[in-house]
Amino acid sequence: MGKLIDLTGQPFGYWTVLNYTGDKKWNCRCICGVERPVRRNLLVRHHSESCGCKTRELYEKTQKSGSSRYSTMTPKQKEHQRKYHETWKKKQGETYLANKSCVYGHGHTLQQKRELLEKQGWKCANRACDFITPSPTLTLTEWCWDHDHSCCPKNTSCEKCRRGLLCQQCNKALGNVRDDPSKLEGLAEYLRFHSTRPRP
C-alpha cells in the first residue's frame, strides 16, 4: 500500500477537504455548508466538485441566459444533433432520464436513491404506510424525494432539506397539506371521530 497523500485543506471545486475518514474517503465541506465523505479518486479526477449545488447553479445560469451551443447551430446541424442525441439516449437505457432528473433536481444519482431506499428497508419513510417494493423498478418512479419546501423549490432539494423517500400517495398527501402537521393531526382526529360514531 502506497503512502497516504494528505489532502487536508485542499480545495476541489466547491469542496474543501477536512480530514481523512478511512476506506479511501475524505470528509469534505461544500461552500453551501454540506459535509460528506468523498472518495479520493473522485476528488483528484474532478468527478466530484460539489454536493450537487454547482450542477444546479450552472443549469440555472444556462436556463436564465438562454446561451447554449444549440442556439447558434444551423438547421442542418440541429437536425444532426437531434438524431445523435436520440440514438445516444436509446443506448443509455430507460434509466437515463430518471438519473438526469435525480442529478439536476436533487444532486443525487439514481444509484444513491436506490441505496437510500435499501437503508429504509425498501419501505416508505412514513412508518404508518405499508407500501413496500422489495423489487423496485429500474427508474424508481414509484418513489419520491421528500424535502422541506421552505428551503428548495418544488422539484429540487439539497442535503439540508432532504428528509427521505416517500411513496407517491404519502408524498402527494404532504404536498396537499403543505407540510402542515396540524392539518394532518386534524384529519386523523376527524377520521377517528367518524369511525367510532354510531351510524343511524
Selected residue with higher pLDDT from 131 and 153: 131
What's the rounded Cα separation, in Å, for the pair 179 and 147? 10
Q: What is the pLDDT of residue 2?
A: 61
The pLDDT assigned to 100 comes to 77
Interatomic CA distance for residues 109 and 114, integer angstroms = 9
Whether 4 maps to a domain, the answer reads: no
Q: Is the pLDDT of residue 53 over 60?
A: yes
Beta bridge partners of 132: 123
| Model confidence at 172: pLDDT above 90 | yes
Same domain assignment for residues 103 and 179:
yes
Q: Is residue 81 part of a domain?
A: no
Is pTM beyond 0.95 here?
no
DSSP state of 132: B
What average pLDDT does the structure give for the chain? 85
pLDDT of residue 190: 92
Using only C-alpha atoms, what is the Rg of the chain?
A: 22
Separation between Cα atoms, residue 114 and residue 141, nearest integer Å: 11
Q: Does residue 50 belong to any structural domain of this protein?
A: yes
Does one domain contain both 98 and 153?
Answer: yes
* Rounded Cα–Cα distance for residues 100 and 147 (Å): 19
Comparing 93 with 1, which gets the higher pLDDT?
A: 93
Q: What is the residue range of 58's domain?
A: 11-65
80 inside domain: no
40 lies in the same domain as 132: no
Tens-digit pLDDT profile for residues 83-125: 888 887 777 777 777 887 787 778 888 888 999 999 999 999 9
Sequence-distant (6+) residues with CB within 8 A of 1 are none
> Dihedral sign, CA of 93, 112, 44, 56?
positive
